């Protein structure tokens, strides 16, 4: 009897091992602290941007390792984090809010490995840190938005019941509604009391015949508004992070109006910052074609209208009444307009928004409708050497189109600058509009949560345990033990390679899963080798003992690994955070250990002993 694998099996093992080494290799090169510079609104960088960044660094006396650039981004690598953190404030102040300057850890992987998509695996926050954003929700804006909504509801109700009013104005703490006489005021008071009972109502008497109502939300109502805004923003941010594909993120409330977002192992931090911090949304408004734009520019803006500007600077007069807002958009996809070829976003509305749009388009065919792009921006400037942030709200008309037919739930928005902007706007709209603007008040790369010393000790314990297993196997099983050690080493290499290929996130619980896998792989070899010893004791030949040992031990090994794999899959399906990290590495490790401990060691044993009819086994 001869123990030999056919050539194709040996080739499969060699190819797997070579690919494993190749794709595990990027993990030894480490990372550089870096700054990633992109446009705030997706698109290509200006041609002189590279020179501006270099000039800023030279003026500030900050040394850098290298600078890489293309049409979409500039990546500046530094030798240490101190230089990185000093550079970010100077470059932000120089470039303004037209660009995103994000902290990053850029892999130092050689280009020849990157060309075959060999990248290092992600490390979790507890191993390498990651991007940390501390975001503050503008609660005043949340209250103001709710009050604007109450004003719109009141306007709709009064018009429906044909109650005449002279003014409806949203103020800081409520809605002021004025009437020509007390009779209309009283009718409105009864109507609003029935339809909007949650609001307090105060009568207004001017003494000149006019009368009014002041609608004000109670303190309890304001608390609910703020609470909802915070919860809605957390949900929206979580949806956006899911769109980015970040593994095991942390998104949680901090205090009454702040949200912490931590993204482990993120590579494109500039895009992450742009997407997560984006407050972009859309409003659809009717164009005021009844009044002259020149009069509005002269300061005589009609009471029910407001002056806006297109992106090219030209003015346009729009109605104050909002047809549909971004929070009524349930889906959005970017694409290209079939007629003009320009970038567009196909929007789908919820039931309420669809009813509003249907009602508006029925009565407005042939009239223009405008799309207003709204974004809250934060600008950083240096004052006495200290960075100072100021917020501003940008409202631009991106499109004015004539309504050609009646539509409701689904339609297109055009007028965007680039396909990248259309893609990112669709992503933001699809993940949900923020209930209130957010500002990133702190941004940093964070270190391991358990401390560098603890992590070093953890890795040291893994290495010591691994070496102890190698020594034991070599002494106890001799040549077979050395073969098992070789398989064990390649098992770890293949696990790292698969984690790198999948761009999975390795955490401390994930390392625990790898350690457990090492034990299971050794356990499989122990079962095989002890079975071979038993076969030799009962007088079987060495070749027959090898074959019988592998075949008879296989069912036991398979049962043990399959039951563990089932448990790992359950943890992966229902677990979150650290539990999922443990399950990922355990699942991968079980599959790779089956390959190396059974097929891999068998191939090496066959090469050593399989060609000899009579072999003295030292086991």
CA 201, CA 214: separation in Å to the nearest integer? 6
Which residue has better confidence, 2 or 409?
Answer: 409
Could you tell me if 411 and 284 lie in one domain? yes
pLDDT at position 12 is 92
To the nearest 10 degrees (0 to 180), the angle between helices 7-24 and 452-502 is 130
Q: Is residue 86 part of a domain?
A: yes
Q: Tell me which residue of 68, 101, 34, 134 sits closest to 274, measured CA to CA.
A: 101
- Name the pTM for this structure: 0.56
CATH of the domain at 213: 3.30.70
pLDDT at position 328 is 82
Could you tell me if 294 and 183 lie in one domain? no
Number of compact structural domains in the chain: 4
Could you tell me if 595 and 458 lie in one domain? yes
Report for 88-102, 303-317, 373-387, 453-467: range of highest mean pLDDT: 303-317
**Of the residues 86, 107, 128, the one at which a domain ends:** 107
Could you tell me if 157 and 88 lie in one domain? no
Q: How confident is the model at residue 316 (pLDDT cuts 50, 70, 90)?
A: very high
Is the backbone of residue 313 left (phi > 0), alpha (psi -120 to 50) or beta? left
Is the pLDDT at 17 greater than 80? The verdict is yes
pLDDT at position 254 is 86
Q: Is residue 512 part of a domain?
A: yes
CATH of the domain at 332: 3.30.1360.200
Is the pLDDT at 384 greater than 80? The verdict is no
Q: How confident is the model at residue 13 (pLDDT cuts 50, 70, 90)?
A: very high
CA 363, CA 343: separation in Å to the nearest integer? 28
Could you tell me if 210 and 350 lie in one domain? no
- The string of DSSP codes covering 296-357 is HHTT---TTEEEEEBTTS-EEEEEEEEEEEGGGEEEEEEEE-TTT--EEEEEEE-HHHHHHH
pLDDT at position 458 is 64
CATH of the domain at 66: 3.30.70.260
Could you tell me if 20 and 41 lie in one domain? no
DSSP 28: G
Average pLDDT across the chain, whole number: 82
Could you tell me if 454 and 566 lie in one domain? yes
The residue behind tokens 């009050």 is 147
Q: Is residue 246 part of a domain?
A: no
Could you tell me if 66 and 159 lie in one domain? no
- Bridge partners of 439, per DSSP, are 136
Structural domain harbouring 366: 280-419
CB 444 within 8 A of CB 133: no
Q: Is residue 350 part of a domain?
A: yes
Could you tell me if 517 and 591 lie in one domain? yes
Which residue has better confidence, 262 or 309?
Answer: 309
Q: Provide the terminal-to-terminal Cα distance of the chain, rounded to the nearest Å.
A: 20
CA 547, CA 598: separation in Å to the nearest integer? 12
Could you tell me if 460 and 543 lie in one domain? yes
What is the tens place of the pLDDT at every residue in 46-68?
A: 778 888 889 989 988 899 998 98
Q: Is residue 65 part of a domain?
A: yes
What is the tens place of the pLDDT at every residue in 497-538?
A: 999 998 877 777 888 888 888 778 888 888 899 998 888 888
Could you tell me if 19 and 53 lie in one domain? no
Could you tell me if 411 and 456 lie in one domain? no
Q: Is residue 437 part of a domain?
A: no
CA 407, CA 335: separation in Å to the nearest integer? 19
Phi, psi at 15, each rounded to 5° = -60, -45
């Amino acid at each position: 009897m001869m123990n030999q694998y056919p050539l194709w099996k040996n080739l499969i093992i060699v190819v797997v091992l070579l690919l494993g080494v190749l794709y595990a290799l990027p993990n030894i090169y480490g990372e550089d602290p870096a700054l990633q510079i992109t446009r705030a609104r997706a698109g290509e960088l200006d041609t002189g941007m590279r020179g501006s960044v270099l000039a800023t660094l030279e003026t500030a006396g900050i040394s850098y390792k290298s600078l890489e650039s293309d049409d979409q981004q500039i990546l500046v690598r530094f030798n240490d984090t101190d230089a990185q953190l000093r550079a970010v404030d100077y470059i932000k102040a120089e470039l303004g809010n037209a660009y995103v300057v994000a902290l990053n850890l850029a892999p130092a992987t050689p280009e020849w490995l990157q060309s075959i998509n060999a990248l290092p695996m992600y490390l979790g926050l507890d191993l390498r840190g990651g991007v940390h954003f501390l975001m503050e929700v503008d609660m005043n804006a949340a209250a103001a938005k709710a009050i604007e909504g109450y004003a719109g509801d009141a306007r709709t109700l009064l018009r429906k019941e044909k109650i005449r009013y002279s003014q409806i104005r949203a103020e800081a703490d409520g809605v002021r509604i004025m009437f020509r006489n007390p009779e209309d005021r009283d009718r409105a008071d009864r109507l609003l009391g029935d339809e909007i009972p949650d609001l307090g109502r105060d009568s207004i008497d001017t003494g000149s015949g006019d009368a009014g109502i002041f609608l004000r939300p109670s303190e309890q109502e304001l608390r609910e508004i703020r609470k909802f805004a915070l919860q809605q923003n957390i949900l929206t941010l979580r949806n956006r992070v899911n769109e980015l594909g970040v593994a095991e993120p942390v998104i949680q409330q901090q205090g009454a109006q702040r949200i912490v977002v931590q993204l482990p192992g993120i590579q494109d931090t500039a895009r992450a910052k742009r997407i997560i911090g984006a407050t972009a949304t859309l409003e659809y408004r009717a164009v005021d074609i009844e009044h002259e734009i020149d009069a509005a520019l002269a300061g005589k803006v009609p009471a029910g209208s407001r002056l806006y500007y297109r992106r090219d600077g030209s003015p346009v007069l729009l109605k104050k009444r909002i047809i549909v807002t971004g929070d009524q958009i349930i889906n959005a996809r970017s694409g290209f307009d079939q007629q003009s070829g320009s970038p567009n976003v196909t929007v789908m509305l919820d039931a309420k928004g669809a009813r509003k749009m249907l009602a508006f388009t029925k009565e407005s065919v042939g009239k223009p409708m405008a799309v207003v792009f709204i974004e809250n921006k934060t600008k950083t400037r240096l004052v006495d050497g200290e960075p100072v942030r100021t917020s501003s709200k940008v409202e631009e008309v991106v499109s004015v189109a004539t309504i050609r037919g009646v539509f409701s739930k689904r339609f297109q928005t055009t007028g965007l600058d680039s396909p990248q902007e259309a893609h990112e706007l669709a992503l933001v709209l699809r993940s949900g509009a923020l209930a209130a603007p957010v500002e990133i008040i702190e941004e940093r790369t964070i270190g391991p949560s358990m401390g560098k010393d603890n992590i070093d000790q953890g890795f040291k314990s893994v290495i010591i345990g691994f070496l102890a297993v190698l020594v034991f196997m070599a002494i106890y099983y001799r040549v077979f033990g050395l073969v098992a050690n070789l398989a064990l080493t390649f098992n770890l290499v293949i696990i790292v390679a698969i984690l790198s290929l999948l761009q999975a996130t390795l955490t401390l619980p994930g390392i625990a899963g790898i350690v457990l896998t090492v034990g299971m792989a050794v356990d499989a070899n122990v079962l095989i080798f002890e079975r071979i010893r038993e076969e030799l004791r009962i007088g079987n030949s060495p070749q027959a003992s090898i074959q019988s040992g592998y075949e008879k031990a296989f069912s036991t090994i398979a049962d043990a690994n399959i039951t563990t794999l089932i448990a790992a899959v359950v943890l992966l399906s229902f677990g979150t955070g650290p539990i999922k990290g443990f399950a990922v590495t355990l699942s991968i490790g079980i599959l790779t250990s089956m390959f190396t401990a059974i097929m891999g060691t068998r191939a090496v044993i066959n090469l050593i002993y399989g060609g000899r009819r009579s072999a003295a086994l030292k086991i």
